[in-house]
Amino acid sequence: MELPTIDREVPLLSEVVPSLLAVLGVPGATNTLALPPASRACVLLVDGLGWDLLREHAADAPVLSELSARPLRSGYPATTAAGLGALGTGVPSGQHGLVGYSFEVPGVGLLNALRWCSHVDGSDLRGALPPEEAQPLPTTFARASESGIATSVVSAARFAGTPLTRAVLSGGRYVGVHALGDLVAATRSALRSPRALCYGYHSDLDLLGHLHGPGSVPWRMQLRQVDRLVESLVEDLAPGSLLAVVADHGMVEVDDTAVDADADPALLDGVRLLGGEVRARHVYTEHGAADDVLAAWRETLGARAWVVRREEAVEAGWFGDTVADRVRPRIGDVVVAARERSGVLRELAEPQESALRGQHGSFSSAEQLVPLALAHG
């Protein structure tokens, strides 16, 4: 099977914050993205804003589209937990270990990384798996704080102290916000320190892409609000400040080629657990069943997906150039990445996720490429 091409000439999302740390003078950090000098920096993550989508709908985001910009690779899987982990640790998923929307942690079960609960029965896994054990690497924000930089994480108040926040965003002062207005105000305030790093997060574009489809009218109207958010930050940038607008992934709209695993016995025979999401699945097999499961998934999905063994995905660099020993067992025995507009649904086990029009996770440019748009004070 011919594997997807990974364009290694395009930098990774995980390089953004380490490059900002280097600009701000943090020892050991390297500015691989060649970012310009600054004494204050803000990285604004707009969840779900793909590079392809932004270029296609540039008229709805004139301020953002006029910034100096280039694409980055989200990394695999192109999903929020992995993307936030990349920003918060400065390394790809194979090292930080958040390898999907859901994945098996040996001895714990199938973890839903966004909700930090069992993806099977919804039980709380905070006690069984403390976030600091699931992701033990120091965060980029902790590194900034330890170097004397005033570090702030500006995100929704409901995410304060959640396990995912503790796993990848710890180390900075958390500022909980409720809407675009206080997101702008809190970010502006954070950038008034003489030497500062601020991370801001906006989630609603991703939500509307999932519900209505990327590029839909509701999505475009939300993109206009995002552009106003960016404009409000750009117009107040003090001299010596740098704003970097990025995203964790893009999005595609799935079509009727998607397969429902819950309705196809061939896809569940020999399967112990099924994780990941519609466009990027982890298949965990019963003992001795991996070869049969691999063959069944390849035969059933055909050209609709890349279906490979864990070892093939690791060797091909899907999860980054290095996969830590503690992370390797979290990757499915069989890894499935959807092609074109297809996917693997679970209409019984995952009714809400399967009903979404917009999906992401795989290797299309619409999912993988995200913007790095820069503004200077």
Give me the torsion for CA of 180, 185, 191, 196, rounded to 10°. -70
Average pLDDT of the chain? 98
Mean pLDDT of 49-78: 98
CB 329 within 8 Å of CB 104? yes
Are 147 and 139 contacting, i.e. CB atoms less than 8 angstroms apart?
no
Is residue 11 very low, low, confident or very high in pLDDT (cuts 50, 70, 90)?
A: very high
Both tokens assigned to 21: 């740390």
Q: Which residues sit opposite 151 in a β-bridge? A: 197
| pLDDT attached to residue 182 | 97
Tell me the per-residue pLDDT of 125-179, one tens digit each, with 9 for 90 and over.
Answer: 999 999 999 999 999 999 999 999 999 999 999 999 999 999 999 999 999 999 9
Angstrom distances, CA of residue 63 to CA of 218, 374, 377: 19, 11, 15
Percentage of the chain modeled with pLDDT above 70: 100
Stretch 257-285: mean pLDDT: 98
Fold for 13-253+363-376, please state it.
Answer: Alkaline Phosphatase, subunit A (3.40.720)
The strand pair at 196-202 and 150-156 is best described as parallel
CA-based nearest residue to 79, from 270, 328, 282: 282
Q: Count other C-beta atoms under 10 Å from residue 28's C-beta.
A: 9
Q: Domain-by-domain residue ranges, the chain?
A: 13-253+363-376, 259-359
* Cβ contacts of 206 within 8 Å, gap of 6 or more: 47, 48, 80, 251
* CATH 3.30.1360.180 is right for the domain spanning 259-359: yes
Q: Where are the beta strands (DSSP E) in the chain?
A: 40-46, 68-73, 102-105, 109-112, 117-118, 150-156, 173-177, 196-202, 241-246, 252-253, 259-260, 271-277, 280-285, 305-309, 334-338, 344-345, 358-359, 369-376
Q: pLDDT category, 1, cuts 50, 70, 90?
A: confident
Q: For residue 46, report the phi and psi dihedrals to the nearest 5 degrees.
A: -100, 105
Tokens read off for 182: 């206080």
* Residue whose pair of structure tokens reads 């995002």 in the numeric block: 226
pLDDT at 362: 98
